[in-house]
Amino acid sequence: MCNKILKKYTNFGKDFQCILSQNVWDIKKYHADDNQISVGFLCYDHNGQLLEGRLNIDIQTNEHTKLVEGDTYVFSKFSVIHNSRHRKLTQLPYYILIDKKTIASRVTGIGPVFPVHTFSPQDYKNLLRLVTTLTYLPDVVGQIVLIQKISQHHPESNTDATIGLKLNRSIIVKLLLYDKQAAEFGILHNKKNRKFKVVVITSIIPKLCQGKLLLSSSPATNFYFNKSIDCIKQFRRRVRDFGKNM
């Protein structure tokens, strides 16, 4: 199976393909000079497959190839690298690497050829199982019942935040947000109170702390509150009698 996937994306790397940048974040490795060395991103290929990618920082500084969340690009001559991380951001065992050999250009004036969002929220039992399983980072859906450490006056300055997330009628877990994700949630909460709202949170890291499930954000974590999302509608139906403000 892995060899088939590798062959597919090795061929994919030789040809021009459209990619939609979904998330972009800094990857920092702390050496003597304490410099950022690359940029991470999630994207869709032209078939709708979600991919993880990395881009060297010297390429990112080129304005023509600077990745912007939500934009569409064409890449060719990129590398396909085996992903050896314990927890992967997608279900694929590989990521694409954009380097000096890559030809990249931003695409404008095309229609909505990519999927908007695909979610695979996991329930409490599956999240417990995923704590010790080598796998990709899961999504979760739940109702926000607690918000802590959010600055109302300067939400963009938040570097950490805590959310109490109700996963079902009887279980509430703690979700820790860091850095960019804490700031983004603070801005969302400042625009409109998110307490008691149902949310889909993507690419979270499940852990065990003193025997209890603890969730934390990753650089790829996003928040979705749209009531038309299927898993949000399903969650609201399941707990309809347990919260009037959802």
Q: Rg of the chain over CA atoms, in angstroms? A: 19
Lowest mean pLDDT among 110-124, 150-164, 170-184, 185-199: 110-124
Full DSSP string of the chain:
-HHHHHHHHHHHTTS-EEEEEEEEEEEE---TT--EEEEEEEEE-TTS-EEEEEEEHHHHTSGGG---TT-EEEEES-EEEE---SEESSSSSEEEEE-TT-EEEEE-S----S-S----B--HHHHHHHTTS-EEPPBEEEEEEEEES--SS-GGG--EEEEEEE-SSS-EEEEEEEHHHHHHHHHHHHHS--TT-EEEE-S-EEEEETTEEEEE--TT--EE--TTSHHHHHHHHHTGGG-TT-
Please report the pLDDT score of residue 18 as a whole number. 60
Please report the pLDDT score of residue 114 as a whole number. 54
Share of the chain above pLDDT 70, in %: 72
Tell whether pTM > 0.85. no
**CATH code reported for the domain at 2-107:** 2.40.50.140
Please report the pLDDT score of residue 174 as a whole number. 95
- Residue-wise burial string across 7-38, b where 16 or more C-beta atoms lie within 10 A, e elsewhere: ebbeebbeeebbbbbbbbbeeeeeeeeeeeeb
* Residue that wins the pLDDT comparison between 135 and 41: 41
Please report the pLDDT score of residue 124 as a whole number. 94
Q: Which of 14, 21, 18, 71 is nearest to 46 (CA)?
A: 18
| In the chain, where the domains are located | 2-107, 124-241
pLDDT at 240 over 50: yes
Q: Which amino acid is at 8?
A: K
* Residue that wins the pLDDT comparison between 222 and 243: 222
Lowest mean pLDDT among 21-30, 160-169, 234-243: 21-30
Q: Do domains 2-107 and 124-241 have the same CATH topology?
A: yes
In tens, the pLDDT along 113-132 reads: 555 567 889 999 999 998 88
Share of the chain above pLDDT 90, in %: 22
In tens, the pLDDT along 214-229 reads: 999 988 898 999 888 8
Please report the pLDDT score of residue 198 as a whole number. 93
In tens, the pLDDT along 50-79 reads: 788 888 766 554 444 577 777 788 888 888
Report the CATH fold assignment for 124-241: OB fold (Dihydrolipoamide Acetyltransferase, E2P) (2.40.50)
